[in-house]
DNA sequence: GCGTTGATTAACCGATGATTAACCCAGGCT
DNA sequence: AGCCTGGGTTAATCATCGGTTAATCAACGC
């Protein structure tokens, strides 16, 4: 899922990018309406997150203009102003949903998922790997067809691994994708989560590369009990 | 989109008709409750705009009576009175949204769009889910064939969940569908209603997804007492 | 064998949701 | 009008779960 985030505030933007990346989205971020326009021309996106208070141009203007040019992807508006007028204007201009700042990252992710599903109610991005299947949109994990209950951190971990099939991820990298970039964590919490993952999905899923980190096990082998 | 506008003031009515027509709506306009009744009998509408200050009959009376007869299209109420009581009355009587006079035409159009979008796809008459059945037109709920008495909020909650089978709805999203957009609610009222729902329908109906929200339980399992 | 690295386990803590009770308000009834 | 009832909201308390920590154990490399 390709998301275009248009937000000028550095702090907020980095939060969004980190959060959505952790949720399995591929995120491009721009800070101005001009840049957004360029990005929209250059690539195709599945959904867009648009802040209204941009430096160079009113976000609504941008939206309206893009809509009139045939932009059809769902757009979620971020706004700090909480007046009714703005909300109405937003919907009128072609927004599909809105979120008032400050907002919860999980809330944002949830709304994006809902929007995506509304447009195309299918299971698009089911990630499969051997007996394992993961659906980011419903946040469901299946092992040999059976649903498996994973906690938030376990999911994040699994996603990071699935997104980098075959590659070795260092603890630092994993930490970045499971926690934000900011959080400091000085403990073996990651180890513990890896352990939980293995317990739930079988030992073959996560491979240890001593001294370097972890990587996803081979798709075929690595059954639970060999 | 077929809209029924029930408004006695000529000036306002013509404004609405002009505005909505320009927006692409097909508009029928009547000036009295009696005429509205006739129209509703004669044709099918997608949405209704209802003024409360009608000459022959109270608009709320009309709404209530129509609702009790199975009218299920969204109804937006127009009212000159600005007391909170009236708004509550309106929602109670079965309105889906309300607008205070004087209002902005764009706002009216935007609200109608929102209403339509909210109910789009909910055209089926009986929603079934495992032992559970819900009839939106009569607003009746059945569990294993037995009617269950649900309060207004409980119904709204159940409806929102049924309308999004399998999806996780955040409390924000649920709040939006149970309460209007405007009402601010800073309490765990939703939790309480969920609790009531479970008490009445059994624990399997509503699933908690920790940190994310709630979703409808699986259709098969989740009996009351396993 | 020794040290380092990762695995495992149990304990603790905080966050989140569930539960319950009290209160408030509106509507219906007398 | 005044009372009564019931749903809705608030708030306070309880329970549970997940996350982190830390301590111990096993494996691997030297």
**Helices B59-68 and B33-42, interaxial angle, to 10°?**
30
User: What residue ranges do the domains of chain B occupy?
Assistant: 1-120, 125-214
> Which residue is nearest to the C1' sugar atom of D20, using CA?
A189
| pLDDT less than 70: residues of chain B | 1, 22-26, 41-44, 69-70, 81-94, 117-126, 136-139, 180-184, 220-226
Which nucleotides along chain C are within 7 A of a protein C-beta? 5-10, 16-21, 26-27
- Nearest chain B residue (CA) to A138: B167
CA A192 to C1' D1, whole Å: 68
Q: Give the pLDDT confidence score for residue B190 in this predicted structure.
A: 92
Question: What would the two tokens of residue B200 be?
Answer: 């009445």
pLDDT in tens, B189-208: 999 999 999 999 988 899 99
d(Cα A117, Cα B166) in Å, to the nearest integer? 12
| A75/chain B closest Cα distance in angstroms | 15
pLDDT in tens, A133-165: 888 777 889 888 888 999 988 988 898 888 888
pLDDT in tens, A61-73: 898 888 878 787 8
Question: What would the two tokens of residue A222 be?
Answer: 């690595």
Question: What would the two tokens of residue A30 be?
Answer: 């721009």
Please say whether the beta carbons of A141 and A150 come within 8 A: yes
- What distance lies between CA A44 and its chain's CA centroid? 17
Give the bridge partners for B100, in sequence order. B79
Q: Work out the average pLDDT over A183-189.
A: 75
Dihedral sign of CA atoms B144, B147, B72, B120 in order: negative
CA-nearest of B55, B43, B54, B56 to B77 is B54
Q: What is the CATH number of domain A125-214?
A: 1.10.10.10
Q: Give the pLDDT confidence score for residue B208 in this predicted structure.
A: 94
Q: Work out the average pLDDT over A99-115.
A: 73
pTM over 0.95: no
Tell whether B203 lies on the interface with A, counting CB pairs under 8 A.
no
Q: Give the pLDDT confidence score for residue A36 in this predicted structure.
A: 92
Question: What would the two tokens of residue A224 be?
Answer: 């639970």
Distances (CA, A) of B211 to A104, A147, B106, B171, B177: 11, 19, 37, 10, 19
Name the residue with higher pLDDT: A75 or B179. Answer: A75
Q: What percent of chain A has pLDDT over 90?
A: 14
Q: Which residue has the tokens 């998922």?
A: A113
B202 Rama sector, left if φ>0, alpha if ψ -120 to 50, beta otherwise: left
Nucleotide nearest to A185 (CA to C1'): D20
Superfamily of domain A1-120 in the CATH hierarchy: Response regulator (3.40.50.2300)
CA B10 to C1' D19, whole Å: 64
Q: Confidence class of residue A4 from pLDDT cuts 50, 70 and 90?
A: very high
């Amino acid at each position: 899922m390709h998301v275009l985030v248009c937000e000028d505030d550095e702090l907020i933007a980095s939060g969004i990018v980190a959060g959505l990346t952790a949720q399995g989205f591929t995120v491009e971020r721009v800070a101005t309406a001009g840049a957004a326009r360029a990005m929209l021309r250059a690539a195709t996106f599945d959904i867009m997150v648009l802040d209204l208070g941009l430096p160079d141009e009113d976000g609504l203007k941008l939206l309206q203009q893009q809509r009139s040019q045939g932009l059809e992807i769902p757009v979620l508006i971020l706004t700090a102003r909480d007046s009714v007028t703005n909300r109405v204007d937003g919907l009128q201009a072609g927004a599909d949903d809105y979120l008032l700042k400050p907002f919860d990252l999980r809330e944002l992710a949830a709304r994006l998922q809902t929007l995506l599903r509304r447009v195309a109610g299918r299971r698009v991005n089911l990630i499969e790997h051997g007996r394992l299947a993961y659906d980011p949109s419903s946040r469901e994990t299946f092992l040999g067809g059976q649903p498996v209950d994973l906690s938030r951190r376990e999911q994040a971990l699994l996603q990071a691994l699935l997104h980098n099939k075959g590659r070795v991820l260092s603890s630092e990298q994993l930490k970045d994708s499971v926690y934000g970039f900011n959080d400091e964590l000085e403990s073996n919490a990651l180890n513990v989560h890896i352990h939980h993952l293995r317990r739930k999905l079988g030992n073959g899923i996560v491979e240890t590369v001593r001294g370097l980190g972890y990587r996803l096990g081979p798709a075929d082998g690595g059954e639970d009990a060999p």
